[in-house]
Amino acid sequence: EVTIEVIKTQGDKILDVSLSKIGDKGLFTKEIELALLNNKVDLAVHSMKDLPSVLEPGLCIGAVLSRENPQDVLLSRHAGGFAELPRGARVGTSSLRRIAQIKASRPDLIIVDLRGNVDTRIRKMQKEGLDAIVLAYAGVKRLGYEDLITEILPCDLLLPAVGQGAIGVEIRAGDNETAGILALIDHEPTRLGVLAERSFLRTLEGGCQIPIGALAEITGEGLNLSGIVASLDGTVKYQGALQGKPEEAEEIGLSLANQLLSRGAGQVLTEIRRLGDKK
């Protein structure tokens, strides 16, 4: 028998301020993790994209479920997809990762800050006269709004957030009983892919409000990791890909991050953090 405890986080409560202005460390997880550490709950369910790349001491990932399509999608009031959006179209999103990559491809588009859950964002698109909004496919599908999708955006246009589309279960380290139960639902290919992405993010010292994207996929040839670091205006991009053995997921993420840093990505990240400190 399972009892569900619904815990509101800071990110759930603050909806009138851009995410980039209120910080991102544990924004959607801190209160839940505190309940776990204080033995008020035995496990915590997260969207892996919201989970900080460095966990709180005493906690660990007990399982990662099979991943939904990790891509972003466009919901548009116009016929055609992203390329067909009219010049100067107003596109709603609050993600710096999405903003940077959108601007890299379409600097003519006007970005409008958009917060709230999927239902709220769809209503705002209609109410505020936005031309389009960009959301995660997984969230749109889970709420049954697939028929509203105009285009599933290709990864060479918009690389997803680290862990996007994956659900993770966090537990207390050393809770072997719960870990044993969760092993039954753990999906190893997803877990290893997300591990590589999180290693990439952690090495770059990034969070969900830094323009960093990554996606790892396991095929017959091994684990393939793609990653990107972009400036806020999309004019500077560092991206790359690396392949290796799935069991070396963490090392692959570390190596790809270091490759981008050696090419100058660190300068972009330093500038973004400097601008963030001024807010």
Out of 12, 16, 42, 50, the active site residue is: 50
32 Cβ contact list (under 8 Å, min separation 6): 7, 9, 41, 44, 46, 170
The first and second tokens of residue 164, run together, are 């996007």
Verify whether residue 50 is a known catalytic residue: yes
Task: Decide: residue 254, CB within 10 A, 0-12 exposed, 13-18 middle, 19+ buried.
Answer: middle
Assign 105 to helix, strand or coil.
Answer: helix
- Separation between Cα atoms, residue 155 and residue 98, nearest integer Å: 11
- Whether the Cβ atoms of residue 59 and residue 170 lie closer than 8 Å to each other: yes
- Separation between Cα atoms, residue 67 and residue 100, nearest integer Å: 25
Q: Across the strands, what pairs with 242?
A: 225
- Separation between Cα atoms, residue 110 and residue 121, nearest integer Å: 17
Which residues are identified as catalytic? 50
